[in-house]
Amino acid sequence: MSASSLAAPLQFLDGRPGSPRPGRVQLPPKSPPMESTPAPVATAASAAPVSSPRLLITLATFNECDNVAPLIAEIRKFAPAADILVIDDNSPDGTGKLVDALRAKDPTIHVLHRPGKLGLGTATLAAMQYAIDHDYDLMQNMDADFSHPPRFLPAILKGMATHDIMIGSRYAPGGGTENWPLVRLIVSRAVNGLVRFFFRMPIQDASGAFRCYRVAMLKTAHLERTQSRGYSFQQEVLFRCHLVGAKLGESPIIFENRRAGKSKVNLKEAVRSIATILWLGVTHFFGVEDYRK
Ligand SMILES: Nc1nc2c(ncn2[C@@H]2O[C@H](COP(=O)(O)OP(=O)(O)O)[C@@H](O)[C@H]2O)c(=O)[nH]1
Ligand SMILES: [Mg+2]
């Protein structure tokens, strides 16, 4: 499957691509941080050695003007050679303009400007399309609010020597969440339990967005068929990658509270995401729908 084969179905993901930059990083020697169960079908991607991959770090933003600049500075400490892509949905607080100003000083920062709030899922899909179109080897996604602390990047990237997707995992041994209310913890755990049950994926944390993807594997995962537009995108994309044999690994992280601004999760989005996961899970589990096609 070529990069362009994803382009047509994803054209609704408006953006203004910048020019590709080298963005090469040195991966540490092979040694996965966590076990992973072999996936059903081996991909060419899982076998491909990556010695000096081109890394793109992607940040979806909606009203993150107080977080994005210090976050990029912090990321630089742990992944100095990476390029950075911000996908901004015309944030009313001016996040997009702020990132344009950062880009004027640092051309390794790229921005996709979309016309309005189109959802975290489609923002991440647009980032994946960008990584494919610009020939990156690895795409590392992070929230733009410091909930995904950059200090965990080296361990996640190290795992990419032997996996197609490395998840910065709250629920792997050593991982956790900072001061989450019990209700949020229960809902998150329950969603992950459902996902493990229905999708048979060998991982603890299927709902976090702190993940590194092998771009060659993303090209094979039929992401143009993704139904989720919001937060259930995280589970669906993992499921679709699992179906094409992606090798999944987890590296523990502590999920911290956002530093500034407000969460964009609301009840409607939470309910819609859980409904999408249940729909995909039940139809897959009972063979109503073949998501390999
Ligand atoms: N581009 C874009 N980014 C979004 C959208 N919704 C949320 N985000 C970003 O996605 C990340 C996670 O969102 P957040 O509200 O912190 O969710 P929470 O961490 O689950 O509370 C943050 O970087 C947000 O700015 C959206 O519709 N479009
Ligand atoms: Mg957040």
pLDDT confidence of 42, banded at 50, 70, 90?
very low
Q: Ligand 1 — pocket residues by CB below 6 A?
A: 60-62, 64, 87-89, 117-120, 123, 143-145, 147, 258, 263-265
What is the share, in percent, of the chain residues with pLDDT greater than 70?
A: 83
Over residues 128-145, mean pLDDT: 98
Gap between the Cα atoms of 240 and 223, Å rounded: 7
Distance 223 CA to ligand 2 centre (A): 24
pLDDT digits over 79-108, tens only? 999 999 999 999 999 999 999 999 999 999
C-alpha 240 chain-centroid distance: 13
| Domains of the chain and CATH, by start | 4-285 (3.90.550.10)
pLDDT digits over 260-275, tens only? 999 887 888 888 888 9
For every residue of 123-134, DSSP letters joined together read HHHHHHHHHHHT
| Helix ranges, 208-266 (H) | 215-218, 233-243
Average predicted confidence (pLDDT) for the chain: 85
Supply the residue whose CA is at minimum distance from atom 17 of ligand 1. Answer: 263
pLDDT on residue 12: 30
Smallest-distance ligand from the CA of 208 = 1
Smallest-distance ligand from the CA of 60 = 1
| The pair of three-digit structure tokens given for residue 20, joined into one six-digit string | 């590709």
CB neighbours of residue 44 within 10 Å:
10
Task: Identify the CA nearest to 204 among candidates 194, 192, 212.
Answer: 192
Looking at the CA of residue 123, tell me the nearest atom of ligand 1: 1
What is the number of residues in the chain? Answer: 293
List, in order, residues 6 or more apart from 61 with CB less than 8 Å away: 68, 86, 87, 88, 89, 91, 95, 96, 99, 144
Type of residue numbered 53: P
Smallest-distance ligand from the CA of 184 = 1
Classify each residue of 130-167 as buried b or exposed e, where b means 16 or more C-beta atoms within 10 Å of its C-beta: bbbebebbbbbbbbbbbbbbbebbebbbbbbbbbbbbb
pLDDT on residue 110: 98
The answer to whether 69 and 94 have CB atoms below 8 angstroms apart is: no
pLDDT digits over 21-34, tens only? 446 655 544 444 44
Q: What is the pTM of this model?
A: 0.84
Over residues 250-262, mean pLDDT: 95
| The pair of three-digit structure tokens given for residue 57, joined into one six-digit string | 């770090």
Looking at the CA of residue 119, tell me the nearest atom of ligand 1: 27
Three-state DSSP class for residue 223: helix
How many degrees, rounded to 5, is the angle at CA 76 between CA 72 and CA 81? Answer: 125
Over residues 127-153, mean pLDDT: 98
pLDDT on residue 36: 40
pLDDT on residue 217: 97
Query: What residues are paired with 142 via a beta bridge?
Result: 59
